[in-house]
Amino acid sequence: MATVNLPTTLPVLDYEDLVGDVYYDDEPLDTIFRIGDYLYGNHCPALMNIAPVNTISTTSLSWCWPATPSADALTYDLDWFVAASLTSRTFQITLEYSASNTTGAWTRVPGFPISQAAGLVYEGWWSSLAGATATATLPAAARFWKLTLTTVSGIVNVQCQAMIATPTILASTTSGAKASGFIAHGAANTMLNAAGGTIHTEFWNRAKKNVDSVLADREQMLFSYVDTFTTATYTHSWATGRSDRRALTVFDGKTSLPGQGGGPGRGATITVRARVADAAGGGNGTLIVGEVGGARVELDCDDTDVSDTLELQSDTPELYAYVQPYETGSACSVRYVTGHWTLGD
């Protein structure tokens, strides 16, 4: 396949290019195509954006959560904010994935584990500590992720306080249709710029479909609460005799999705994913996730991956989550609660 160079700056159309006595030749359609190409190379929403709940009292910690990467098996930039209580210890980070669930066999992402040698400063982003952000091609079939932090020296001294994964900016790509539906433009891949080339409906449809395909393919994590997986750092307990505290807060915070509010039938749709275990072991308990002044969903605490959708009332929503254990004395262990968004139709 031929290589198509992608624009490094956003191509711009003026109002006069589209309205009035406009002679349609290869322009403005060529520029419209290149806007789509720019989007493919530079649209980098955070596929993963978590602040793991953890302590510094063990030599190995693991966290799991769901996220759906690009169908095009893109390369992603991966970074972690790491804190250490000592500067003389070595630690490793391992990233694994599963195509089906959080309890099956895990496959390491190519290039992992990666290590940070002794001499770590007390805290900082991995890219600052190791000299460069890690990059990895994330398989399109992956649906669940497992992050493990291990102090290789066996000394308890490291915390992972944040992780983020964003698509790597691209300067070029291959010609032809992608799994996402995107078809790169470029002089080598279209009849538009050829001598005597025609302008037809497929070109206009492709220009729109390219933009839609990129936006629909790049999932964005809007919010997350991710606790250590096997044994939760915190359990949300309904203490005996405290019947006034039936709702136990997991998180509350704001995010921004400009132009995506509007309520039922009009607002953006967020997919809420969660896995919560009830100490009673029988699916006893409920997780409630919602928007202040808007809709909410209720999910079972049965220690399986559960999901539902939430339509936003506001484009700057305040979102919350809380658990309701089944009965006095019961407790819920929240393994993860995440919110995911892609642009709809």
Instruction: Supply the CATH number for residue 144's domain.
Output: 2.60.120
Residue 261 sits at the vertex; the CA angle it makes with 259 and 267, to the nearest 5 degrees, is 115
pLDDT at 35 over 80: yes
* Measured distance CA(166)–CA(288) in Å, rounded: 28
List the single range of 70-84, 104-118, 137-151 with lowest mean pLDDT.
104-118
> Is position 329 within any domain?
yes
Q: Mean pLDDT throughout 219-230?
A: 91
pLDDT grade, residue 265 (50/70/90)? confident
Instruction: Report the pLDDT value the prediction gives residue 46, as an integer from 0 to 100.
Output: 96
- Residue in the block written with tokens 């993860």: 336
What is the residue type of 216?
Answer: A
pLDDT for res 93: 86
Are residues 65 and 107 located together in one domain of the fold?
yes
Distance CA(165)–CA(133), nearest Å, equals: 10
What was the pLDDT predicted at 306?
A: 94
Residues 204 and 239 occupy one common structural domain: no
98 belongs to a structural domain: yes
- Cα–Cα distance, 283 to 260 (Å, whole number): 34
Predicted local confidence at residue 113, as pLDDT: 86
Residue 326 confidence (pLDDT): 75
- The pTM assigned to this predicted structure is 0.87
In this predicted structure, the answer to whether residue 114 has a pLDDT above a threshold of 90 is: no
| Boundary residue ending a domain (128, 146, 167) | 167
Please report where in the chains the tokens 């004395």 appear, as a residue: 329
- Examine the pLDDT at 121 and tell me if it is beyond 60: no
**Same domain? 288 vs 337:** yes
The answer to whether position 130 is within a domain reads yes
Together in a domain, 93 and 161: yes
Given the DSSP bridges, would you call strands 48-50 and 134-137 parallel, antiparallel or unpaired? unpaired
Q: Rounded distance, CA 126 to CA 116, Å?
A: 9
Q: What angle do CA 97, 72, 176 make, to 5 degrees?
A: 160
Q: Are 41 and 173 in contact (CB under 8 A)?
A: yes
Per-residue pLDDT for 246 more than 90? Answer: no
Looking at the fold, whether 131 and 158 belong to one and the same domain comes out as yes
Q: What is the pLDDT at residue 281?
A: 53
Tokens of 267: 């607002």
53 and 155 both lie in a single domain: yes
What is the pLDDT at residue 241? 44
Residue 16 falls within a domain, yes or no? no
Mean pLDDT of 192-206: 66
- Cα 112 from chain centre: 19
Whether 226 is covered by a domain: the verdict is: no
Q: What percent of the chain has pLDDT over 90?
A: 39
316, 339, 118: which is closest to 222 by C-alpha?
339
DSSP β-bridge partners for residue 285: 325
Distance of CA 138 to the CA centre of its chain: 12
Angle at 288 between CA 283 and CA 291, to 5 degrees: 165
Q: pLDDT tens-digit profile of 127-163?
A: 555 544 688 999 999 999 999 988 776 566 677 888 9
pLDDT for 319 beyond 90: yes
pLDDT(272) > 70: yes
Handedness of CA 162, 232, 318, 245 (dihedral sign): negative
pLDDT of residue 253: 92
* Mean pLDDT value of segment 189-208: 66
Q: What is the pLDDT of residue 240?
A: 46
* Judgement on whether residues 285 and 333 belong to the same structural domain of the protein: yes
Q: Among residues 336, 344, 345, 274, which one has the least CA distance to residue 308?
A: 274
For residues 30 and 119, membership in a common domain is answered with no
Q: Read off the pLDDT of each residue in 164-188 and give the average, rounded to a whole number.
A: 88
| Same domain flag for 138 and 272 | no
Q: The CATH number of the domain where 252 resides is what? A: 2.60.120.260
Please count the CA atoms within 13 angstroms of the CA of 284 that sit on its side-chain side: 13
Is cis: bond before 258, omega within 30 of 0?
no
123: how many CB neighbours lie within 10 A of its CB?
A: 14
Helix axes 201-217, 29-42, angle to 10 degrees: 20
Q: Do 255 and 195 lie in a common domain? A: no
Spatial contact of 116 and 129, defined as CB atoms under 8 Å apart:
yes
Number of structural domains found in the chain: 3
**Which among 141, 90, 136 has a CA at the least distance from the CA of 116?**
90
Q: Domain end: 128, 145, 167, which one?
A: 167
Q: Which two tokens stand for residue 177?
A: 């249709």
- 158 and 256 belong to one structural domain: no
Q: Please give the residue range of the domain that contains residue 84.
A: 48-167
Mean pLDDT of 204-228: 91
Rounded to 10 degrees, what is the CA torsion of 146, 150, 156, 160?
-50
Which tens digit of pLDDT belongs to each residue from 279-311? 665 556 899 999 999 999 999 988 889 999 999
Task: Give yes or no: residues 247 and 213 share one domain.
Answer: no
- From the list 259, 241, 257, 225, the residue with the least C-alpha distance to 332 is 225
Under the banding of pLDDT at 50, 70 and 90, the label for residue 222 is very high
Of 103, 109, 4, 91, which Cα lies nearest the Cα of 47?
109
Question: Does the structure show a pLDDT above 90 at 39?
Answer: yes
Residue 225 lies in a domain: no
Least confident of 1-15, 198-212, 329-343: 198-212
In a domain, 39, yes or no: yes
Angle, CA 30 vertex, CA 29 and CA 33 arms, to 5°: 85
1 located within any domain: no
The answer to whether residues 45 and 219 touch, using CB atoms and an 8 Å cutoff, is yes
